[in-house]
Amino acid sequence: MNRIGILHHPKVAASQPLAAQIEQWLAAHQIATWQASSHDEQRLAELVPTADLLVVLGGDGSLLRAARYSSVCRVPIFGINLGRVGFLCEAQPDEWPEKLTKVLAGDSWVENRLMLAARIQRNDRILHTFSVLNDVVVGRGRQARVVRFQLHVDSDHVTDYTADALIVATPTGSTAYSMAAGGPLLPPQLPNFVVVPVAPHLTFDRAIIFHEQAEIAITVQMDHQAYLTPDGTDGILLENEDVVYITKSENDCQFARVESRGYFYRRLMGRLGYSR
């Protein structure tokens, strides 16, 4: 590796001192570096394509932000957890020298994770497009009122929902909001995604798993506010009869891993408090 980007979190006090420490450590290994805030979208768009690896300091949210840029140019991410959960991170703050040494030595492997592409269509016009690693959530706004959804897959009508929201999640996102809403846990190797209703009322209440080539279409029907929220970022206001199309993205997100290939289950149980 010739150049490594280091992304620090602007709102985490420990992030920038740790970034400086890692930069010094990499310089001692004759590796060029650059630093940027994980919230600085302009610099990320410019700098990420120049890196061979991204070291991301923060929680899962920081890695989701980085994934939007790294997936396009296939730059692997090495996450150091400074957040609360850290499902996606490969190292804790006291582990990074040992694990990053293995990455630099080639004693690691690259994990590919499926991403989703979403677009909002209104009256035959595309308004917004998104790429997400976790999930797309289509749901109600400030008012505690349900939204009606029509679900089509590959142009065929599947079912209608009356619910607070619908979550369309990747295997990565299956451990996030989808899990909290009762959805299944999908290992990251699966090429599937899942639709999970949130608080469905007198309607179909099961999660449905779809194959990677499926095209999901969600038509929103309401007389109040509803939003589309990609990967937990700021929501986009929807109007009645807007259609949200979701497919597999052309790009995968890559993670540099040094743990065994079965790490997911061990880490999951540990984060949930069930490890021995």
Amino acid in the structure at residue 224: H
Annotation says 60 is catalytic: yes
Kindly report the number of other CB atoms within 10 A of residue 98's CB atom: 10
Q: What is the 3-state secondary structure (H, E, C) of 219-275?
A: EEECCCCEEEEECCCCCEEECCCCEEEEEECCCCEEEEECCCCCHHHHHHHHHCCCC
Kindly name the residue from 52, 60, 223, 242 that is annotated as catalytic.
Answer: 60
Token pair in block for residue 232: 């937990």
DSSP character for 197?
A: E
C-alpha 79/C-alpha 129 separation (Å) is: 26
Q: Which has the closest alpha carbon to 223: 239, 199, 207, 200?
A: 239
Q: Which residues are catalytic?
A: 60
